[in-house]
Amino acid sequence: MIMNTSVSPYIEKPEFSFSALRSYFNIKEIATGLGAAILISLFIYLDYFGIKADLLIAPLTSLSAVAGFYLLLTISPRALFWSGFFTGILWFYWIGFSFRYYDVAAMIPLMLLFVGTGYGLFFRIIGIFKHPLLRALLFLGFSYFHPMSFNWFVPELTLIHSYFGIMKWQFALFLLGIGLFASLPPKWKVAGLLPLALAIDTHHGEKLPLPDFKVMLTDSNVDQAKKWDESYLPETIENNIATILDATNEGYDMVVLNESVFPMFLNMDIELTKQLQKLSQDITIVAGALYGDGKNAYNSTYYFDKGKVFIANKVILVPFGEEIPLPKFLADWINKLFYNGAQDYKTAKKPVDITLSLGTFRNAICYEATRDELFEGNPKYMIAISNNAWFTPSIEPTLQKLLMEYFSKKYGTIIYHSANHGISTIIH
């Protein structure tokens, strides 16, 4: 038997020589990769700089998404590595910023390199396959891949403000159209236009109708370095109570304060809890604080409504912020080395719905509002509270808002988001 040892023209033959390694630093390859990364990141920075006019944004983000993914499906594997490297940095350069508060700020450049290289390698693996349609299939699957439980790289998010839809089937058609255009002979390239046309969002610009109750979303700017300083606690409580009274006097039905706005175990302060219960006779109060059961600590949301109090604990923790997504022996070592021996928070077992006098609300705390699991059952309303002070100034609050827009659109959920150093808004 004669074995066929030829390599498929659609799969790259691996190269392991030093000359191949040096070829990664070719200026043309780097520039091409950077160009692709800029194109699929443009929508974030347009939003960050406040450029929101739909007549400008929709055409610009549509064209940049088409051009960006065309490059990702056609450029060389080495250029694809650089596109992943720069995409990781353009989307997630802020991840290491929290190290500032643990006296390990020197780790920030290392985290930046780690994130960039990580996404560069992920893209490079896709680059093993040269055929545009094979690459398109892998990029479609990328949104199901969550390294270390971190899911903020959603490829179809690039379409959020474009004329194209953000549903998986629309993104699949979008990639199919570009893949066909890139791979078919010139006289057949027009066939790629049909899937692109079918991927267009026929409900572009439409928003979910808001209910008739009135909600105040607080927008504070408390520095993270001061937030947990006990000397500021009396002033913090006083300011929170003043905000609640202002919302009541202005005729709001609900006031939503942000994550850990009471930087304490609120359930252990009986007098403050009673005061908030009393105030809730006139307005529904939502506020973030810790909850302790004597053994474990939870990141929680407290709901005060008509004198009653409901507590919803966080379900999904922030990787490397609230939990270390590694085997226990490694997690304990990292906690000891970087977090002064602190233990991971505990969590609720499933998403929590809170039924109040104004309706039923799905509870979400920060990172949770960007996870599919929190939208199971397509909740009508969600209250999301965040503390973005760990990562600001950066694009992190903007990226979080865009992701919440994506999930709101995907599941038909109205999100009331209140944030410290973030973007407090109603997303619908």
| Catalytic residue IDs | 259, 314, 366
**Nearest of 392, 415, 418 to residue 404 by alpha carbon:** 415
Strand partners, 254: 215, 284
Q: Which uninterrupted H or E stretch holds 134?
A: helix 132-142
The closest of 424, 426, 411, 384 to 214, measured between CA atoms, is 426
Contacts of 390 (CB under 8 A, 6+ apart): 97, 98, 101, 224, 321
Residue 66 sits at φ, ψ, to 5 deg, of -60, -50
Could you tell me the two tokens for 28?
């043309």
Q: Report d(CA 388, CA 410) in Å as an integer.
A: 24
Q: How far apart are CA 419 and CA 114, in angstroms?
A: 28
Task: List the one residue out of 147, 208, 200, 207 whose CA is nearest residue 173.
Answer: 200
The dihedrals phi and psi of 295, each to the nearest 5 degrees, come to: -120, -40
The interaxial angle of helices 27-48 and 54-74, nearest 10 deg, is: 150
Q: What is the sign, positive or negative, of the torsion defined by CA atoms of 252, 211, 303, 308?
A: positive
**Is the distance from CB of 361 to CB of 378 less than 8 angstroms?**
no
144 and 102 Cβ atoms separated by less than 8 Å: no
The three-state secondary structure class of 256 is: strand
Q: Which three-class secondary structure state does DSSP give residue 427?
A: strand
| Rounded Cα–Cα distance for residues 89 and 38 (Å) | 11
First and final C-alpha spacing in the chain: 64
